[in-house]
Chains A and B, each alone.
Chain A
Amino acid sequence: MNPIRKTAKQERFESKQFRRFPVSWLPDFLLILSCVPALLVNSSSAADVVIGSKKFTESYVLGEIAKRTLTDVGIPAEHRQGMGGTIILWEALQGGQIDAYPEYTGTIATEILKSDSTLSLDQIRDSLEKVGVGMTAPLGFNNTYALVMRRSEAQRLGIRTISDLQRYPELKFGLTHEFLERQDGWRPLRQRYGLRQQNIVGIDHALGYGALVNGSIAVKDAYSTDAKIEQNDLFVLEDDLHFFPKYEAVFLFRSSTRADAIAALQRLEGTLDETRMIRLNAEAERTKNYARGADLYFERSARPPNSLNDSFPSKLSRWTLRHLQLAGFSLLLSIIVGIPLGIVASRGGAVGHVILGFAGVVQTIPSLALLALLVPLPFFGISIRTAIAALFLYGLLPIVRNTATGLQDIPRSLRESAVALGLSPIARLWEVYLPMASRSILSGIKTSAVINIGTATLAALIGAGGLGEPIISGLSLNDHVTILEGAIPAAVLALLVQWCFDLFDRVLIPKGLRL
């Protein structure tokens, strides 16, 4: 199942709204800023072929299978896992940040090619070729949408097909937000089958299974290869009017990818039927480790997967280090840019309003949407640069605003004393105004730092790593322990940062202001 496809759609919607604001200068602005982390962080990959995957189990497993297939024939490959939704991966593929990723024909037709009608495989392949993207033949399974119920209840009511639902208008449906919105989702389905149910709630995919099992909802959308169907003894209703398009799994790849790599990917064609894919997904979810699922494909389950060799302390230190890198560089940028902007803003006037307005607007953009907005821009793409740029933008507002108010709160008599002494404007700022505003500025920086530590967990969505990595894989594996492996260190880190800044206060705020 694919909960993130919905998010990609929302991102596009939000990005349209965002464009109403005067952002024509935003790219230049970001470009200048992002030079700093670009120099500091080398995000380019040593691998020849970079495989991407979406943020759900099956995509992880397929990505890992592709990586193993390539490395087995001696092609250095890297797997950037869980990079978010369709739109992010598609942009990354076109931008060359990744070379291949697993996708579904139905998604390609509706979401990427924006076609209203059903397209044949050849039609899809032709359209993709025009933009320099190749497609393998189907891998062998059709992961289409389906409606599922508890087997016991379906039997009790005598429901076998979607058409049978017409007889029970009182049933409660719990559908994913994406399914509710999709062009091939709930609304056309309801029309086609003439369903009259009114009691429809939007619910997260993973939570929906819980709700279905405990009876809070009766019907839910699912993917036909979803391991949860078997685990929870669910019944897949027959699509008797053939409403759902085919979602055959394929690999998309850049046409410029080295030929032996393409050939290796093509060897995966037709090797995965539905039963097998369900088994791989179930194995990945059972072991809370998608590499295990990939192992099963190669029938090497005896060998422990790489990530298990990686001890928890070493993983934790890698995540934490990257997390600090993300939050640290972005905070540094926010400070370097935010304080001067705050100084300008403190003078008020139109420019001041524009600055505070801009910083405020940035704060209102959902983090995921901001990431998706930055990914298509040249120079950003799927990289740590994008994550740092987004975090930098989030960190701006508290610093800009606190610098501005800190300066504005200096009593007029003291400002005038500095002027009357004959200090030059720069000396007034350095010797008098900034030290006097230091408490407010530092508290703005502290706020930014704590926000950044929290928001940096989202960087994992675009493959930038950090403590978000276990959180996101935990979310898609529905594994609370894995989520906590990231969430607890992130919370501890936020507390430590807060504590460090309390120490800085004592050093950086002049003693005369602390008496």
Chain B
Amino acid sequence: MSALVKFEDVCKRYGDAIALYPTNLSVESGKTTVLIGPSGCGKSTLLRLIIRLIEPDSGSIEFDGKPVTPDNINALRRRIGYVIQEGGLFPHLTARANVLLMARHIGKSEEETHNRLLELSELTRFSEKLLPRYPVELSGGQRQRVSLMRALMLSPELLLLDEPLGALDPLVRASLQKDLKEIFTRLGQTVLFVTHDLAEAIYFADAIVLMNEGLIVQKGSITDLRERAADPFVSEFINAQRGIASV
């Protein structure tokens, strides 16, 4: 089992507030790793550090065995897909143009990109007929499918999902969850998935990373977390979510 991403003593602070204490973490290749924890626990910070939307204060991050630096980050970003809660689609571009933007930018041939687009539209169950539409003309679930297509366009080695289903209503959410899981399995995709919903984490995770107040509290399977809690917070977090779910 090889690690695609490796954090070594990575630390991030905003002024006096520490967003992430020195942290070590490996994201395994071909697996879905889920980052979970309460709001502000540092899970999104971790994701944003990988793609360098923010710079770490200390420590280093390795991608595919090489340290991520300002020099190689733009090349690396093309090997990483990134989907956020609001989709992040550009409103002035059609769904199609959003998906193709990056491929065109790096000069991929029309034929190649067109074939890939058809493939993705099938994979994400997004009707080709909707491709000429603008984001405002699509529903929330459809937008997230387009956003996923855009992230997968260049066949990235790593897919970063920051609460991708957080803004959807339950029915749409359930159907997208199912489709996403299928896609990950079909592609053998390495995924780093951020959520605050335990059920969702359990559904997707090969490994769960539970975070609190800028620290990784425990990493393991759901069984590990349930039966071998490393900290009282772990049981508290799991029981709290289970409590709501049973109501």
Contact = CB atoms under 8 A, between A and B. Distances in A.
Q: Do A and B belong to a common assembly? A: yes
Interface of A: 413-414, 416-424, 427, 431-432, 435-436, 438, 510-513, 515
B88 A417 contact: yes
Contact of B90 (A424, A427, A436, A515): A436
A438 B91 CA distance: 12
B134 A515 contact: yes
A417 B77 CA distance: 11
Contact of A515 (B77, B80, B137): B137
A416 B53 contact: yes
Nearest to B104: A431
Given A413-B84, A510-B92, A515 B136 contact: yes
Given A421-B82, A515-B136, 10 more contacts: A416-B53, A416-B84, A421-B78, A423-B102, A432-B90, A436-B91, A436-B92, A510-B92, A512-B93, A512-B135
B90 A420 contact: no
A422 B76 CA distance: 8
Interface of B: 48, 51, 53, 74-78, 80, 82, 84, 86, 88-94, 101-102, 105, 134-137, 150
Nearest to A416: B53
16 contacts: A416-B53, A417-B82, A419-B77, A420-B51, A420-B80, A420-B88, A421-B82, A421-B150, A422-B74, A422-B76, A423-B102, A424-B105, A435-B90, A436-B91, A510-B93, A513-B91
A184 B91 CA distance: 67
Contact of A421 (B48, B86, B102): B102
A416 B134 CA distance: 20
A417 B93 CA distance: 14
B53 to A, nearest CB: 5
Contacts, number: 69
A131 to B, nearest CB: 60
| Majority DSSP secondary structure for residues of B touching A | mixed
A510 B75 CA distance: 29
A492 B53 CA distance: 51
Given A511-B134, A512-B136, A420 B77 contact: yes
Contact of A417 (B90, B136, B137): B90
User: Main secondary structure on chain A at its contact with chain B?
Assistant: helix
A417 B84 CA distance: 8
Given A417-B84, A422-B75, A427-B105, A512 B51 contact: no
B105 A431 contact: yes
